[in-house]
Amino acid sequence: MTHYRIPQHGQGSGVTGDDVAAVTAVLTSGRHLSDGSEVTAFEAEFAAYTGAPHAVAVSSCTMALELATRILGLGPGDEVITTPLTFQATAAPLLERDVTVRFADIDDHTLCLDPAAVERAIGPRTRAVFTTHYGGLCGGIERLRAVTREAGVTLVEDCAHALGAAAGGRSAGTFGDLGCWSFHSLKNISTLGQGGMITTADAGYAARLRDLRAINPDADFVPRPDGPDATGRPRLVTHEKNAYTHDCVRLRSGGLNAQLAEPAAAMGRSQLRRLDRLVARRRALAERVDAHLRTVPGIRVVETPPGYRHAHHLHTFLLEDPAVPRDALARELERRGIEVVLRYFPVHLLPEWRGRARVTAAVPVAERVWFGQLVNLPLSPQLTDADADFLAGSVESALTALRRGAVVS
């Protein structure tokens, strides 16, 4: 195992005594550990934080994206536009569905979907756009919202990186029809390692999502024409609901067990209270590193546009010296004790997507950025100012050494 001076921390928010106390209180309460008051309170508090009318807690962001895809009812003939520069979970719900997936290019200043590229990709069969707020910046989201609204296309926001992000004073996850959030261990707040949330302004969507996460089908029912089924069977569990009284006339999707547990929700509530402080610390560290990197020739930092609030889940810079291979710089930073995890290999080039029919991808900017420029540095609130200075200084000295040929491969 490699021991790094500055690793990628496994807990993006850390764990405090308040977190432990909140979880312990639930565990020792004697109450049911699933589907209770902690989840309900977490949903209400998260909705209030983001300004979303509805928030539905689920077991992960991947599950949030799956449920969002299910209620859209995507099927044969439909087209979906998404980004190639994202974790594979963003597009995973589309992989096994009989839809055409169009990967649109990114803006190399924000690393998010380029709204102009999306506008060019929208066609008569386009049903939805799945966007990711890469690194915690919801770049171009206001324009993307306008483009999708004008075209009558559903907008789904993957907000896995965007806890604490905003544009124009409006929270990420409230621009689209559905916002999907992550509370994975690495994220800006966590719910015992895994968890997710879906935000929406659509009360109908929220009700259907609550049914789906609780193993109930997304379906239409009508009363039985001959009255209740008089089988006389005993009532053993609550799952039969309307089985004796109604028939299903339309099944859109089966349900899933996607509920967030009570102890996880308790931790989420505790961490949500300090989210702004956690993001502020991330921002201060990132800006300290970037202030140095802006002075280094051949380096371009990802700037936050005016009016935007960056959540700084990832800390990314771009290498713009063609004489220095990106991979060589990453290896040299690793040699100097910095763990470099590059996020993410372009989704359309993953083997399961390369062999899939009905995929289009003309994304030269995303491929150039990924294969030749993008570098992610460690970033978490646990880092010190001295760590930030070491990161910045190491990038500069590593780049200088590579230019001089002083690095032995």
Give me the amino acid identity at 361: A
144: nearest Cα among 112, 166, 191, 102: 112
Give me the amino acid identity at 175: F
Q: In the annotation, is 241 catalytic? A: no
Q: Do residues 332 and 319 touch, judged by C-beta distance below 8 A?
A: no
Catalytic, out of 54, 133, 145, 187 = 187
Beta-carbon count within 10 A of 277 CB = 11
| Residues 25, 279, 55, 347, CA torsion sign | negative
Query: Would you put residue 35 in left (φ > 0), alpha (ψ -120 to 50) or beta?
Result: left
211: nearest Cα among 172, 247, 175, 241: 241
Please tell me the distance from the alpha carbon of residue 407 to that of residue 409, in angstroms, as a whole number.
6
- Is residue 182 packed enough to be buried (19+ CB in 10 Å), middle (13-18) or exposed (0-12)? buried
Q: Do residues 307 and 380 touch, judged by C-beta distance below 8 A?
A: no
Task: Cite the active site residues.
Answer: 187
